[in-house]
């Protein structure tokens, strides 16, 4: 049986990237280009149906909108989990009409417990390295048999030096303040990937200064 996570959709990734780009979020907020677009593209490219966000004080509206753009390409849902009721309410108010989108849901509770008890088929999770329990959330995903093959993306890796203990299955991408990308081990994928290793390559355009990120697979481990 083929793993539902094994097929990368370049079409979904491109459309989500462009849709986020057209929002002009980075330009309006004076953000470094490509960060939000990449987050949106990697979620859509992995055909994420259930997108989980562990929200904290540093979680921005632009991040939610970027993942909402990804969900629109995969017919998925974005679950925003807050531990603080005031933050949840202020976010919904700030999102205005987007908060009523059927593709986004706001939940109050403990992310770790909700992954274990309610959201057991997460395809993509975003959390922040500035969250005190971000490592615990990653371990919870790794221990959840129904989340095998999922992607966990953690931002602000440079500011917290979380990349120093990232682990073997985690890639550090020099985008924004650093993104840690971890694919939860999939038993099917592990069997099929023997001798097939890969890595991320970042190319910088000498003329424009733009960063381009590629996933390179090396056959037979070369």
Q: What is the mean pLDDT of each run of 10 residues along the chain (222 residues)?
A: 52 69 54 74 90 88 91 94 93 84 92 91 90 87 86 86 60 85 68 47 55 53 46
8 A C-beta contact, residue 200 and residue 170? no
∠ at Cα 111 (82, 107), nearest 5°?
40
Domains of the chain by start residue, with CATH: 10-187 (3.40.50.150)
Spatial CA neighbour of 26 closest among 157, 210, 167: 210
Angstrom distances, CA of residue 128 to CA of 11, 93, 153: 27, 22, 8
pTM for the model stands at 0.73
């Amino acid at each position: 049986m083929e793993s539902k996570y094994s097929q990368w959709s370049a079409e979904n990734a491109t459309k989500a990237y462009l849709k986020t780009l057209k929002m002009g979020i980075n330009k309006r907020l004076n953000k470094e280009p490509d960060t939000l677009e990449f987050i949106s593209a990697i979620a859509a490219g992995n055909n994420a149906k259930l997108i989980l966000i562990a929200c904290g004080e540093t979680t921005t509206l632009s991040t939610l909108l970027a993942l909402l753009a990804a969900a629109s390409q995969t017919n998925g849902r974005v679950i925003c989990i807050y531990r603080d009721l005031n933050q949840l309410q202020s976010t919904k108010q700030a999102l205005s009409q987007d908060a009523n989108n059927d593709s986004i849901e706001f939940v109050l509770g403990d992310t770790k417990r909700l992954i274990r008890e309610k959201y057991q088929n997460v395809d993509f999770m975003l959390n922040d390295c500035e969250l005190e329990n971000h490592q615990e959330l990653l371990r919870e995903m790794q221990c959840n048999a129904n989340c095998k093959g999922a992607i966990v993306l953690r931002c602000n890796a440079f500011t917290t030096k979380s990349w120093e203990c990232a682990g073997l299955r985690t890639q550090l991408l020099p985008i924004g303040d650093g993104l840690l990308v971890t694919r939860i081990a999939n038993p099917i994928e592990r069997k099929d990937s023997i001798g097939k290793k890969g890595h991320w390559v970042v190319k910088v355009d000498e003329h424009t200064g733009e960063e381009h990120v590629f996933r390179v697979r090396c056959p037979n481990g070369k």
